[in-house]
Amino acid sequence: MVTTSIPTTPFSDQRPGTSGLRKKVTVFQQPRYVENFIQSIFDNVEGAQGSTLVIGGDGRYFNDVVVQTALKMAAAHGFSRVLVGQRGLLSTPAASCVIRKHRAIGGLVLSASHNPGGPDGDFGIKFNMSHGGPAPESFTEAVFKRASAITEYKIVDAPDIDLSRIGPTKVGEMSVEVIDPVADYAELMEQLVDFEKIAGLFRSGFRMRFDALSAITGPYAKAILEGRLGAPAGTVVNGEPKPDFGGHHPDPNPVHAHDLMELMLGPDAPDFGAASDGDGDRNMIVARGLFVTPSDSLAILTSHAHLAPGYAKGLAGVARSMPTSRAADRVAKKLGINCFETPTGWKFFANLLDAGLITLCGEESAGTGSNHIREKDGLWAVLLWLNILAVTKKPADQIVREHWATFGRDYYTRHDYEELETAPANELMDALRKKLPSLPGQRFGNLTVEACDDFAYTDPVDGSVTPKQGIRILFKEDARAVFRLSGTGTSGATLRVYLERFEPNTDRHDLPTSDVLAPVVQAANEIAEIAARTGRNEPSVIT
């Protein structure tokens, strides 16, 4: 089988972000675009010759084409073995699991996570390292440098592989093993949570709805919830992955998972509701009549994780991204364990996990995880919740309210201003940074600024410093506003404003979130001059 070197020229826009390279499908469909980026990744993988690689994606539009291209390029680059999910499918957490279990040198994960799919939607490619987690900035910068100077890519001349059948085949000298995408992941879950107790919960008549949003978690949820745990057929809805996610926006939040929210807040709500996103690394938890914020979910899992076999010996520590509410901090203090505040991006958690400094971690954007892999893991979070419900024999809403009674409630919301023009968005952040020295002591409505900064993180493991990770405004009234530009979109800029206020009094734990946070919203808008600088009087999405 012949390896061919194809001449090429660089594209100027192939700098990976926090989760790889994400662009519109039409951008990736440009001739040589995919090949250039994959070649730039492979050129930076040390020890690739004779090693094992993992390839898989979330099944979104163009996934099938890129998988075949990646396999042929891997063969040209000297990998000896590739593990690829059946039909080219692997959830992001399952890819991390497979990399770790089979001691692969890394993996190509094809996904744009929670971004929309379809011909007019988004696509993404990222590389996960041998520990199963996303590549660090040193690697992604090297990839960008290579992509900016690339002159050729290598590929073997071979027919496409039949990915529908599990089993081995060959591409040139390289062995390709088409694997069951669920098997290794399900085996790992059985080691972490008590399948028998959860099965007993379902046998008792417990009712649940899991909405896979026509994305990758559907096959995993069906195999584990309905298959191994005995949940009634139909517990998992929208369970077949579709290239356009069935028209769903695969972001598990109350806005986009509106059918689940309507059910769980209605008169015939099941006992528990959950959803996951495009590539399976995020989760949404809904108790009967009550949406559980990701920040609260992380705190509750931290408090109760010892009830599951995988965490019975306790936790080494917990970490949260800086914009995530401080609810987990309060639990960590009571447990006497470390709590770390990191920038947004799973690679920061991966360092802490590898060093054994933390066991659980999470982000306000619905990503929660533990030391079992090096990615966030949507279905794992749902299973851990089910383990807690099975052991405590309490309804989910009661667990949440008891948590608030013990630790206080962190009212929390996020305002997203999507697809802003990039220049005005950057100018807003620059102007806000210039204001920081003068803000302490100023009063906005009934709130007084106590302190503020532009968050910079010094990694306790490798000593690296990551500056400008978001602007924090702390008010004396135990409230906080955080501003940052997101790196997960594919067009324009998204301004995210995170708003929270702590309420210790139990008689104030059932107030409307919008009412409690209205003064914080007003102060944040005034301080950042959002309306004047963006032309937007309202956010695109409130979660």
- Collapsed DSSP state (helix, strand, coil) of residue 25: helix
Q: Which of 96, 113, 276, 365 is catalytic?
A: 113
Query: CA–CA separation, 301 vs 310, rounded Å?
Result: 13
Q: Which of 279, 67, 69, 93 is closest to 178 using CA atoms? A: 67
Burial (0-12, 13-18, 19+ Cβ within 10 Å), 138? exposed
Active site residue 325: no
Q: How far is CA 191 from the centre of its chain?
A: 22
State both tokens at 126: 């990222």
DSSP 8-state class, residue 8: -
Q: Which residues of 461-488 are buried (b: 16+ CB within 10 A; e: fewer)?
A: eeeeebeebbbbbbbeeebbbbbbbbeb
11: its two tokens? 């594209």
Asked if 336 and 221 touch (Cβ cutoff 8 Å), the reply is no
Burial class (CB in 10 A: 0-12, 13-18, 19+), 230: middle
Instruction: Provide the β-strand partners of residue 341.
Output: 320
- Tokens representing 482 are 């955080």
Count of beta carbons in the 10 Å neighbourhood of residue 195: 21
φ and ψ at residue 365, rounded to 5 degrees:
-85, 25
Q: Please report the sign of the dihedral spanned by the C-alpha atoms of residue 515, residue 516, residue 522, residue 525.
A: negative
Q: Which residues contact 197 (CB under 8 A, 6 or more apart)?
A: 387, 390, 391
Q: Which residues are catalytic?
A: 113
